DNA sequence: TCGGTATTTCCTGATT
DNA sequence: TAATCAGGAAATACCG
């Protein structure tokens, strides 16, 4: 029997976002959490506001950027408006992250819909970044100083770079992100960034650091997406969370399901630390 | 290459 | 009965 997880997750997300946000593109959104990234099922031109924000979130994830770096309110627009922004507009809206965002959206605009399944083996050659925007008038030659430097492999949040070799016996793609993207930090960042937290986790006691998973499987899938591990489940995630008890990054909260508390070794969650 | 670290995976059993 | 919790054990992947 397969995919109960998928069904569960879709139900969770549908429930949350259906109620709170009423996204008309929810079905497409759903598919992204079940093996590929939903954003790339459609051209950026057709993205909703929420999809624009999801794209921003993914770029931040890729670059390990603090969420506060990009003012989300400057991107309160749909895909059509986003695609009409110039390089200068991106610089004005996102400051130092402007070029990165511009590069990402331009690549997506040029690439169009992308349906790369995780684990897919037929690879396209890496993009030649030496001339990345052949059709974009706003990225004319005089503006090209910002595009000649190749971005790292995961520069644009392209879905699951399929070039990953599978050498491990469990047939999973590369799993570990570079140090600095620890699970507890991922959880903390969701809690601290309401734009990224559509009802997934909520504070139970903000000052004490107590929080509760509202959509446990959805959080696990987001964590799995971050780690390129489509088989992540809440059961596995919670095992990793329990290892934090010994290290005092988390403290036990007895008798309450899905409830955790930040411990003395967890940093950056307190309002006074922000 | 190796050891340490941080998960990830699988498992059994208990609890809600 | 299913979901969750608890924790042991081993595997995996990254980093210095």
- Residues A39, A115: Cα–Cα separation, whole Å: 10
Task: For residue A78, count CB atoms less than 10 angstroms from its CB and return exposed for 0-12, middle for 13-18, buried for 19 or more.
Answer: middle
Look at residue A93 in the predicted model and tell me its pLDDT.
79
> C12 C1' – A142 CA distance, angstroms?
48
pLDDT interval class at A244 (50, 70, 90): very high
Look at residue A57 in the predicted model and tell me its pLDDT.
67
How crowded is the C-beta side of A266, counted as CA atoms within 13 Å?
A: 26
Look at residue A74 in the predicted model and tell me its pLDDT.
74
pLDDT interval class at A234 (50, 70, 90): very high
CA separation (Å) from A202 to A81, A95, A240, A245, A257?
Answer: 32, 30, 19, 20, 13
**Closest nucleotide to A254: CA versus each C1':** C5
Which residues are registered as beta bridge partners of A262? Answer: A250
> B9 C1' – A3 CA distance, angstroms?
18
Domain covering A35-146: architecture: Orthogonal Bundle (1.10)
- The single residue listed with the structure tokens 């950026």 is A44
SS3 A215: coil
The 10 Å Cβ neighbour count of residue A170 is: 7
Is A183-273 CATH 1.10.10.10?
yes
- Residues A229, A165: Cα–Cα separation, whole Å: 14
Task: Give per-residue pLDDT as tens, A204-220.
Answer: 888 999 999 988 988 99
- Residues A9, A15: Cα–Cα separation, whole Å: 10
Task: Give per-residue pLDDT as tens, A82-117.
Answer: 888 877 787 777 777 777 777 777 767 765 433 333
Helix (H) or strand (E) holding A212: strand A210-213
Q: Where in chain A is the domain with CATH 1.10.10.10?
A: 183-273
> B13 C1' – A230 CA distance, angstroms?
28
> C15 C1' – A196 CA distance, angstroms?
29
> C6 C1' – A198 CA distance, angstroms?
29
**Closest nucleotide to A168: CA versus each C1':** C12
- The single residue listed with the structure tokens 């036990």 is A252
Q: Please give, chain by chain, protein residues whose CB is below 7 Å from any atom of strand B.
A: A 170, 172, 175-176, 179, 182-184, 223, 227, 229, 231-232, 235-237, 239-240, 243, 247, 255, 257
Task: Give per-residue pLDDT as tens, A22-53.
Answer: 233 333 333 333 333 344 446 777 776 666 76
Q: Where in chain A is the domain with CATH 1.10.150.50?
A: 35-146
């Amino acid at each position: 029997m397969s995919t109960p997880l998928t069904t569960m997750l879709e139900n969770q997300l549908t429930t949350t976002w259906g109620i709170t946000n009423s996204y008309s593109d929810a079905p497409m959104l759903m598919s992204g959490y079940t093996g590929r990234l939903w954003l790339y099922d459609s051209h950026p031109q057709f993205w909703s506001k929420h999809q624009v924000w999801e794209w921003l979130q993914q770029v931040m994830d890729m670059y390990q950027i603090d969420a506060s770096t990009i003012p989300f309110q400057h991107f309160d627009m749909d895909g059509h408006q986003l695609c009409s922004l110039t390089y200068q507009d991106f610089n004005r809206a996102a400051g130092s992250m402007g070029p990165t965002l511009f590069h990402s959206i331009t690549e997506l605009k040029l690439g169009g819909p992308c349906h790369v399944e995780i684990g897919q083996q037929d690879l396209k050659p890496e993009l030649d970044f030496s001339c990345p925007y052949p059709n974009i008038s706003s990225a004319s030659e005089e503006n090209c100083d910002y595009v000649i430097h190749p971005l790292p492999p995961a520069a644009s949040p392209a879905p699951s770079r399929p070039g990953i070799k599978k050498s491990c016996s469990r047939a999973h793609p590369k799993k570990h992100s570079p140090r600095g993207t620890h699970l507890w930090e991922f959880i903390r960042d969701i809690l601290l960034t309401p734009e990224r937290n559509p009802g997934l986790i909520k504070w139970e006691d903000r000052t004490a650091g107590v929080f509760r998973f509202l959509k446990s499987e959805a959080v696990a899938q987001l964590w799995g997406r971050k780690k390129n591990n489509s088989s992540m489940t809440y059961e596995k995630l919670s095992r990793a969370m329990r290892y934090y008890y010994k290290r005092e990054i988390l403290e036990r909260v007895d008798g309450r399901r899905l409830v955790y508390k930040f411990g003395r070794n967890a940093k950056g969650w307190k309002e006074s630390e922000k």
